[in-house]
Amino acid sequence: MSSNTPFKIALVGNPNLGKTTLFNRLCGLNQRTGNYPGVTIDKKKGFLKSGDKNVEVIDLPGINSLFPSSKDEELVVDYLLNTENAEYPNKIVLIVSALNLKRNLYLFEQIRDINIPIVLAINMADLAEKRGVFIAEKALEKELGVPVVKISAKKGTGVDALIGRCMETSVIEERAPSYIEEEELAVLEKYSAKEGLANNYIGLLKLTTAAKSEATQEFITENNLNVRKWKTNASILRYKRINSYLDKVLTVDKSKASDFTTKLDRVLLHPVFGYVIFIGVLLVIFQAIFWLADFPMGWIETAFEWLQSAASAGLPEGYFSRLITEGLIPGIGGVVIFVPQITILLFLFSLLEESGYMSRIVYLTDRLMQGFGMSGKSIVPMISGLACAVPAIMAARTIENSRERLITILVTPLLTCAARIPVYVVVIALIIPDDATVFGIFNAQGISLMGLYLLGVVMTFIVAFVLKYLLKPSYKSYLLMEVPEYLLPGMKNVLIRVWTNVKSFIWNAGKIIVATAVILFVLVTNGGDDFKNTEQYITAQYPTVAADEKNDLIASYQTENSYLGMLGKTIEPAIEPLGYDWKIGIALISSLAAREVFVGTISVIYAVGSEEEMNVRDRLKAEVNPHTGMPAFGLATSISLLLFYAFSLQCMSTVAVTYKETKSVKWTAIQFGYMTVLAYFSALIAYQLLK
């Protein structure tokens, strides 16, 4: 190795074991550390000095085994097997958790047989001892035949010793296989020799990978190999070897556990109280959404009313001025007003995630999720779906079982995302007064919002239960994950995450709303002959009406006979049984782009032709159905609308990402179809019962 060539160390380990924290400690880089599996999605590099040597440290994505089940794991396996790669490491630091040594040693046993020099770093050893878990470091080093160092990545203890052991000269040789039955070894040796592979274990990995070459597939067929059985047996034999030495190096005495995390977990992971506490946490969050957002929403509402009034007074009369005052300002303001509530929701959920509580929810709900055809890992994308279904569906990649991943993708959009909040808040305000309470304590609007979230959760489980029996399992999966210790949330990480998500919401929604507002305004301010001859028609029909009332009649008639009104009238027969008029129908269609566009559309439709500067909630309260003379947004219509938006899949981005993740037109169509049918008939039944 040239003196200028850095000594390369690769950090490898299961997800959520402190790899990124150790990377920061070694290299001094500001790399984000998360508390749930899958946070490291690509390899990262850093540099340090050890004596006179330059050392390059590579932080690889977390993996559970060398049998890859995700893109992240494929990246790591390809990296470890490609010895010709210029970035191939001189040594691997394999990080294991002292709290879950047996499972972590499974990955060690696999990597050991690739014959790369390894240093085993046992992280959180100090915390393990507080939990009554004791590891004999020297005895383990003797059993494994590689250097073993106890460290605390968080505190930095043992890190200097780890660097020192990494810089030692070491040679690692091939050992007797502990991953294949003796009678099958000859076939594996034949394949390895044919492919010119460095050792037999690399041959087994290539035989069992999903992405097989044509030659490998021919070899499997010619020799009638059951590679799935080989993979299963390899895991069994690995754990058999681990068990042969584990009792010699590991002592567990839970009676000596004294740490805060263990004590708190006895309550938060209780099979009964754990769920009660989780529901209580959600109740606090939804109460906070209304309580904390009340003042900033009022300020935004007042600001947009002032802006609309100032624009009306300051701009010259004309079509372009009306586009701004009756189209863009109401459309954008109708959605921006809900940014405080969305921000608070994202902030509170980020606090829970950073504290380590979300990982407990994964563990707590695993058995429940298994009963509905999913796993505890499904709760991570599902909770992410409370912000946005698009990244939530993408997060399902971390679920190894294809059936559980598909069910999770299909049901996640039923959970209430942040884009539904503007619709919910507006409609809830139409039927529940701001000062209404439950038991004189809880805000009734907050309880209603939580009820809609829980309704989405209940329907998610119902649909998942049905899919469980429609999709037959190919194998049973088990939840494997590390549960981190509780931490005080890092406010920098929380604020960056919230800002990123809110900025994305404003930018993405803003682009759609501006485009939608312009299109709607053009359609609602233009029409055929009836539209152009409105004033003559109203004058002839109502010759004695007062000037103000005449202007209202003209505005109403023009809107109804505009191109937009004609489109709305066309679809009105299909939605009238749900309690919707053509104006609501237009809002439903426009919200196919994004759910929050519903509010912007309603704001534009009701603002066009109006002389008053009013916020969207006041406009809707004042709206009257011309056919019935009753409020257009009465109890029956409002409940119907809430149910429709609770269950409908009206975001085209979600449709696109479902297709991208499933690579299936069939499942994408099934998802859109079942949600549309569920939304329509739920809204229909509710309206017909309540009207």
Determine the topology of domain 7-167 in CATH.
Rossmann fold (3.40.50)
Residue 196 and residue 162: Cα distance in Å, rounded? 35
**pLDDT block averages, 10 residues each, the chain of length 691:** 76 85 76 40 74 86 83 82 85 91 91 93 85 88 93 88 90 85 88 86 85 83 86 88 90 69 79 86 78 80 83 82 76 73 80 79 75 74 73 73 86 83 82 78 82 88 89 61 68 78 73 73 79 80 73 71 81 88 80 70 61 60 68 85 86 79 89 93 93 79
Q: Which long-range contacts (CB under 8 A, 24 or more apart) does 622-626 make?
A: 625/581, 626/556, 626/581
pLDDT at 3: 56
For strand 250-252 and strand 44-50, is the pairing parallel, antiparallel, or unpaired?
A: unpaired
Separation of alpha carbons 678 and 672, rounded Å: 10
For 248-271, write each residue's pLDDT tens digit. Answer: 998 877 666 666 777 788 788 888
Q: Which amino acid is at 180?
A: I
- In degrees, rounded to 5, the angle at the alpha carbon of residue 84 between the alpha carbons of residues 80 and 89 is 45
Task: Quick: pLDDT tens for 184-212.
Answer: 888 988 998 888 887 888 888 888 887 77
Q: Residue 396 gets which letter from DSSP? A: G
Q: Residue 535 has what pLDDT? A: 80
Mean pLDDT, the chain, integer: 80
Taking a C-beta distance cutoff of 8 angstroms, is the pair 565, 559 a contact? yes
pLDDT at position 626 is 63
Give the whole-angstrom CA distance, residue 449 versus residue 290.
9
Q: Which two tokens stand for residue 604?
A: 């534009």
Residue 32 has what pLDDT?
42
* Tokens representing residue 254 in the block: 């839970």
User: In this structure, what are the phi and psi dihedrals at residue 109, rounded to the nearest 5 degrees?
Assistant: -60, -35
> Domain limits of the chain?
7-167, 182-259, 273-470, 507-690
pLDDT given for residue 40 in this prediction: 43
* 53, two tokens: 């040597």
Burial 51-80 (b: 16+ CB within 10 A, else e): eeeebbbbbbbbbbbbbbbbebbbbbbebb
Give the closest residue to 109 by CA, choosing from 149, 64, 71: 64
Residues of the chain with pLDDT > 70: what percent?
86
CA atoms within 13 A on the CB side of 16: 20
Query: What is the length of the chain?
Result: 691
Coil/strand/helix, residue 339: helix
The helix-helix angle for 402-411 and 652-662 (nearest 10°) equals 170
Angle at 188 between CA 183 and CA 191, to 5 degrees: 145
Q: Which helix (H) or strand (E) holds 438?
A: strand 437-438
b vs e for 362-385, b when ≥16 Cβ sit within 10 Å of the residue's Cβ? bbbbbeebbebbbbbbbbbbbbbb
